[in-house]
Amino acid sequence: MEKPQIWVFMEHRTGVLHDVGLELLGKARELAEASGSMVTALLLGANVAPLTDQVIAHGADTVLIAEEDGVPVGFASLRILPQVESGVPHAELADLFVDETRRRRGTGRALVALAEDFARRRGCRSLELTVGFDNDGARAFYRAAGFSDFALTMKKALEARP
């Protein structure tokens, strides 16, 4: 069973993260530890890369941001998951997004490379992802990045119950 994620959206305007954002991140970390979740931070604003160490120090598990000329143009969210059978963790690229106007410039490849490096440093031997059957562009992108068909992901819609 994969770990649920707690997302914290943080913004800065002057290169300094506001205390309230860091406090929220700390609370998210407490909740994650109590619930077995992971914390993913999404930094908003220009020139956010220098802030990632501070965000991780305050409780985020993953922060991957792509900037171009100081403007965020994409992000990746990565989960590190235990593997019961082998005892070796594996990584899941849960989300990868690049602004449509900034695609085909290497941003997606750079984010995947960062995710791979991040996963390797945490002892992972594989990186998995889910992509829609009808998303031919994304499937071609991932194959070009070295991914191959591995398993079939199945889904069941759950209706809300009173």
What's the rounded Cα separation, in Å, for the pair 79 and 70?
26
Total Cβ atoms within 10 A of residue 85: 5
Three-state SS for 52? helix
Three-state SS for 132? coil
pLDDT value for 1: 44
Match 């970390």 to its residue by tokens: 29
19 backbone dihedrals φ, ψ, rounded to 5°:
-55, -35
Pick the CATH number of 64-146 from 3.40.630.30, 3.20.20.70, 3.10.290.20, 3.40.640.10: 3.40.630.30
Three-state SS for 25? helix
Start-end ranges of CATH 3.40.630.30 in the chain? 64-146
pLDDT value for 143: 96
Q: Is the pTM of this model over 0.85?
A: no
Nearest to 66 by CA among 79, 81, 52: 52
pLDDT along the chain (162 residues), means of 10: 68 74 83 81 68 71 69 80 84 86 86 86 89 92 94 87 84
pLDDT value for 145: 95
